[in-house]
Amino acid sequence: MGGPSAPITVKSLLDLDFINRFTRDLPADPETTTRPREVTGALYSRVSPTAVAAPGLVAGSPECAALIGLDPAELGSEEFARVFGGNALVPGMDPFAMAYGGHQFGHWAGQLGDGRAINLGEVRGPEGEGWTLQLKGAGMTPYSRRADGLAVLRSSVREFLCSEAMHHLGVPTTRALSLVTTGDQVMRDMFYDGNAKLEPGAIVCRVSRSFVRFGSFELPASRGDEALLRDLADHVIRTSFPELGAPPSGAPIPAEIYVAWVREVVRRTAVMVAHWMRVGFVHGVMNTDNMSILGETIDYGPYGWLEGYDPGWTPNTTDAQGKRYRFGHQHQIAHWNLTRFASAVVPLAGDVEALQDAVDSFQSVYTEAWTGMLAAKLGLPEFEEERDGPLAVELFRILELQETDMTIFFRELARPLTGDPVGALAAAAYGDGFEPETRAALEAWITSYRDRMAALGVEDGPRRAHMDGANPRYVLRNYLAQLAIDRAAKGDPEGVAELLEVLRRPYEDQPGRDEYAARRPEWARHRAGCSMLSCSS
**How many other C-beta atoms can be found within 10 angstroms of the C-beta atom of residue 217?**
26
The answer to whether 177 and 60 have CB atoms below 8 angstroms apart is yes
The three-state secondary structure class of 305 is strand
**Amino acid found at 227:** A
**C-alpha to C-alpha distance for 487 and 483, rounded to whole angstroms:** 6
CB-neighbour burial class of residue 383 (10 A; exposed 0-12, middle 13-18, buried 19+):
buried
**How many other C-beta atoms can be found within 10 angstroms of the C-beta atom of residue 6?**
6
**C-alpha to C-alpha distance for 518 and 521, rounded to whole angstroms:** 8
- Helix (H) or strand (E) holding 214, with range, is helix 214-222
**C-alpha to C-alpha distance for 471 and 537, rounded to whole angstroms:** 31
Catalytic residue (one of 289, 299, 388, 405) = 289
Residue 460: active-site member: no
Q: Which residues contact 147 (CB under 8 A, 6 or more apart)?
A: 115, 116, 140
**Amino acid found at 461:** G
> Helices marked H in 223-351 — which ranges?
226-240, 255-279, 330-344, 346-349
Q: Which residues contact 332 (CB under 8 A, 6 or more apart)?
A: none
The answer to whether 309 and 405 have CB atoms below 8 angstroms apart is yes
The answer to whether 410 and 377 have CB atoms below 8 angstroms apart is yes
CA angle 168, 174, 179 (to 5 degrees): 85
Give the torsion through C-alpha atoms of 410, 411, 415, 418, to 10 deg.
-30
| End-to-end Cα distance, the chain | 52
Cα of 326 vs its chain's centroid, Å: 16
Q: Mind telling me the catalytic residues? A: 289
